[in-house]
Every structure is written in C-alpha cells, then in structure tokens.
C-alpha cells in the first residue's frame, strides 16, 4: 500500500508540476475545458496520494515503535506480564465469589485501567489509536475444547490499537477513487487536441473497464468493512 501510493504520488506530482497552459490553449487563448479538468483532477490526485503515502509511512513507524514498547524495561514488566499481574486478583476474587457478582466486567476494566496508567507509553498508544476501555476489553462467548460455551475475556494491546488505525486508513475508498481519477486525468492528457468523436469512443472503452473494476472490487471492500 505504502509503496504503491508513494510511486503514484511521484508520478502525480511530476505531471502536476509539468503542466503548461500553452499546451492546452484553446482558440480564444484560454486553457480550455480539458485543461481545467486535467489541472483540477491532478491537484486532487497529487494531494491525496501524498497524504496517503506520508501518513502510511508514519503510522507504520509508530506501530513498530508501539510494539517495541511492549517489551520489559528496567522500570517495568512487559505488557503481558503487567496484564497478568493486574488480572490475577480479579480472577481470584471471582473464584471465591467475593462480592463481584454483576460487576465482573467493571472489575476487569478497572484492573486494565491500572495497567494503562502505569506506563505513559501504553496509554499514549491507546489514545493515538482512538480506543477506549469499552472497546479494547470485551467478554465474548466462545466454544471451549470440551464443546462447552464459556465466556472469555479478550483484550487489545497498544500495538493492536495502532494497527486498527492503519486498517481504517486502508479501508478508505479514497485510494481506489484516486487511482481512477489518475487514469481519467491521463486519458484527458492523451486525448488533448483529439476529435470529439474519438474522445467518446475512448471514454466508452475506459468506462467499460472501470465499471468492471468497480464490480470486482465492490465485494472486496464490503469484506473489509464487515
């Protein structure tokens, strides 16, 4: 994703920067409809691809940084060890029935919040990922090895929250839309000065394949969003 958007950004910025009004001049000396359309579309494509490329690189670096911060340090345990230590008293209280009936999820949330506040690196990662305690800590019904339905506690770590943010960027429809707009802009450039009848023929051919691409990619993007 990052590689494709970076290459596309390079081509788009080069085309946008090489725009010359005299090459698109109409009979009255103006840029003309096609020239204006090409310039506007390439401005969108250049800005969007630069955004996706730069943001993608930075988020990938932030993810690896957050993942490295899960390891133990001289002043703290690892993420897994800290969670295990914080959850142990709650699990023991559940085993003895010590006044946690009806408040089990709340008790786990409080223990999890203690882990987050213990290290600024972890709390900052959760804040950057835009996740809250009600979204990263969930009880789900699962089938055990004995074919019994049991409630299991699932918890997202700081690095996983960052990866969710990366996935949301990948989900955005701006990427395929930008690719289509870039193809349209290059088609306008290729048809510069061409007769209108030939333009209609080329547009019909491109529309056929773009429609097929939309038909193929539609279910895939629906899968990303389910």
Please report the pLDDT score of residue 69 as a whole number. Answer: 83
On the CB side of 54, how many CA atoms lie within 13 Å of its CA? Answer: 8
Please report the pLDDT score of residue 139 as a whole number. Answer: 63
Please report the pLDDT score of residue 182 as a whole number. Answer: 86
pLDDT truncated to tens, each residue of the chain (226 aa)? Answer: 677 778 888 888 888 777 777 777 766 666 777 788 888 888 888 888 888 888 888 888 888 888 888 887 777 788 788 888 877 877 777 666 555 566 667 777 778 778 877 778 877 877 777 765 555 666 666 666 676 766 677 777 777 777 777 777 666 677 778 888 888 888 888 877 777 778 788 888 888 888 888 788 777 777 666 6
Per-residue DSSP letters for the chain? -HHHHHHHHHHHHHHHHT--GGGG--TTSS-HHHHHHHHHHHHHHHHHHHHHHHHHHHHHHHHHHHHHTTS-BTTB--HHHHHHHHHHHHHHHHHHT-S-TT-HHHHHHHHHHHHHHH-HHHHHHHHHHT--HHHHEEEEEEE-TTS-EEEEEEE--HHHHHHHHHHHHHH-THHHHHHHHHHHHHHHHHTTT--HHHHHHHHHHHHHHHHHHHHHHHHHHHHHH-
pTM for the full model?
A: 0.65
């Amino acid at each position: 994703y990052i590689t494709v958007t970076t290459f596309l950004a390079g081509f788009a910025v080069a085309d946008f920067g090489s725009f010359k009004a005299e090459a698109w001049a109409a009979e009255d000396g103006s840029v003309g409809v096609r020239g204006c359309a090409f310039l506007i579309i390439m401005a969108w494509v250049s800005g969007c691809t630069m955004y996706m490329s730069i943001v993608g690189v930075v988020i990938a670096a932030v993810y690896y940084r957050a993942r490295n911060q899960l390891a133990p340090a001289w002043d703290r345990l690892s993420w897994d060890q800290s969670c295990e230590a914080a959850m142990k008293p709650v699990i023991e209280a559940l085993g003895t029935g010590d006044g946690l009936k009806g408040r089990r999820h709340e008790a786990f949330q409080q223990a999890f919040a203690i882990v987050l506040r213990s290290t600024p690196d972890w709390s900052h990662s959760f804040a950057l990922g835009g996740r809250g305690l009600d979204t990263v800590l969930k009880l789900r019904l699962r089938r055990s090895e004995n074919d019994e339905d049991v409630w299991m506690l699932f918890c997202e770590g700081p690095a996983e929250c960052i990866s969710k943010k990366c996935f949301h960027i990948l989900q955005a429809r701006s990427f395929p839309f930008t690719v289509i707009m870039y193809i349209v802009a290059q088609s306008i450039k290729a048809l510069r000065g061409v007769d209108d009848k030939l333009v209609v023929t080329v547009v019909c051919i491109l529309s056929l394949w773009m429609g097929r691409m939309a038909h193929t990619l539609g279910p895939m993007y629906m899968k990303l969003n389910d």
